[in-house]
Structure 1
Amino acid sequence: MKGTVILSHGLESGPQATKVSALALVCDALGWASVRPDYRDLDASRDPLAIDARIDRALGHAPREGRVVFAGSSMGAFTSGFASLRRASAGLFLLALPTAIPGYPRAFDAADVPTTLVHGWNDEVCPVDAAIGFARARGATLHLVRDGHRLAAHVDWCAGVFRDFLAGLD
């Protein structure tokens, strides 16, 4: 295996969600292991402070040794960034990134590693300007598509971008 990808689903989703499932198929095809932590029990409370438990759970699924990539959608992207600050990672792949969560005391942050973001121009949940600002400040690769928060019209396309991202880490 080339490493492990921790695939984190969004708040109103689960480990079998469309986007993280598509990314898991890419991992399999390229020789990466993937893990999809289940956060639904934590998300049920709708308590923003449960984000810390989400981060801990993501880290608990990361192997102690070897390369790790954190990837996720929406709240999963937020979780992934913070996890990357606590466990060395080879890269971050972030979909529909919120840069702040109402009620959570910290604005989004992430390790300075190769990072790719995909965001919808018409994202009704996470403002596109905030994602653009984060990408600009980090010099991250940013793909903007004509889609909403769920990126439903671009799932296969996102998987292709993810394939290129992982291939670029080799």
Structure 2
Amino acid sequence: MKAHRLQIACPGASVETVVEDPGRELAGLALIAHPHPLHGGSLDNKVAYTLARAALARGYLAVRPNFRGVGASTGAYDYGIGEARDLVAVAEHLAAQFGYLPWTLLGFSFGAYVQHRVAREIEARRLVMVGPAVSMYDFGAPAVPTAIVHGEEDELIPLAAVRAYAEAHAVPLHTIPGAGHFFHGKLVPLRTLVEGLLEP
């Protein structure tokens, strides 16, 4: 596996991005969004890292940008709007280098909200939302085939709210018993579940 740390120019920001190559023929491209940047979220978040490991295990190029204002990314927090624009720009930049392989979008918490917006702007095979903050942001109907992974004991985003969203939009909901919002002690079952969702 090869890992590279890049600075990708986006409108209004320069986005620090870690790109990891599984070292074999690529099954696709995976864009991974971390949790809220004003609450400690970064590309090094353990859930974002776990999503990257799941993607790599399935042969995807794993792309983890830092949202604007985080790490070496410039710019300032923009309520998910500018962040989504940045991820679209990152996707367009990398797609040109990798033969326009299909994108899979993965996002955790606030990152799921950002990816929900990104899915309206780029051609993506699927969206996997982990712990999506549906009780905090206006998600609306998903634009691409979508799956949700949620902790049964999530203390920040009530499972009932996620279940209501999933039922309203016919989105498959996968729960992890005993898992809170940050999946403490549950990263292995999270990775296993997501790997299953990423099967071709």
Q: Which runs of 5+ in 1 are unaligned?
A: none
TM-score (structure 2 length as normaliser): 0.73
Quote the residue 1:57 is aligned against: 86
Report the alpha carbon displacement of residue 17 of structure 1 after superposing the two structures with TM: 1.4
Count of aligned positions: 163
Structure with higher Rg: it is 2
Q: How does 1:87-102 map to 2 (within 5 A)?
A: 87-101=122-136
Which residue in the other structure is 1:139 paired with?
170
**Residue number in structure 1 paired with 2:43:** 15
The reply on whether 1:128 has 2:159 as its aligned counterpart is yes
**Is the CA contact (8 Å cut-off) linking 1:123 and 1:148 kept in structure 2?**
yes
Instruction: Evaluate the alpha carbon distance shift between residue 40 and residue 126 of structure 1 in structure 2; reply closer, same or farther with a 3 A threshold.
Output: farther
- Equivalent position to 1:114, from 145, 148, 153: 145
CA distance in 2, matches of 1:110, 1:42: 29
Equivalent residue, structure 1, for 2:60: 32
Q: Which runs of 4+ in 1 moved over 6 A?
A: none
Structure 1 CA distance for aligned equivalents of residues 157 and 44 of structure 2: 22
With the length of structure 1 as denominator, give the TM-score of the two structures: 0.84
Secondary structure, counterpart of 1:85 in structure 2? coil
1:4 maps to 29
Q: Following the alignment from structure 2 to structure 1, what is the Cα–Cα distance between the partners of residues 141 and 106? A: 12
Q: Which residue of 1 aligns with 2:3?
A: none
- Structure with more contact order per residue of length (Cα contacts < 8 Å, sep ≥ 6): 1
Deviation of the 1:135 alpha carbon: 1.2
Q: Deviations over 1:74-101 (max 9, x none)?
A: 0111111111011121111111111143
Check conservation: 1:14, 1:40, Cα contact below 8 A: no
1:165 corresponds to which letter in structure 2? L
Q: Of Structure 1 and Structure 2, which has the larger fraction of its residues in helix?
A: 1
Q: Describe the superposition over 1:15-68 as per-residue Cα deviations: whole angstroms up to 9, x where unpaired.
A: 11111212212222221111101016169x996x43101111111121263211
User: Is there any run of 5+ residues in structure 2 with no aligned partner, and where?
Assistant: 1-25
Structure number with the higher strand fraction is: 2
Is 1:55–1:82's contact at 8 Å kept on the other side of the alignment?
Answer: yes
For the residues of structure 2 that align with 1:34 and 1:19, how far apart are their CA atoms?
Answer: 13
Retained in 2: the 8 A contact 1:70–1:84? yes
Q: Report the AA paired with residue 186 of structure 2.
A: H
Q: Give me the whole-angstrom Cα distance separating, in 2, the residues matched to 1:120 and 1:10.
A: 15
Residue identity over aligned pairs, in percent, reads: 22
1:152 pairs with one of 159, 178, 184: 184
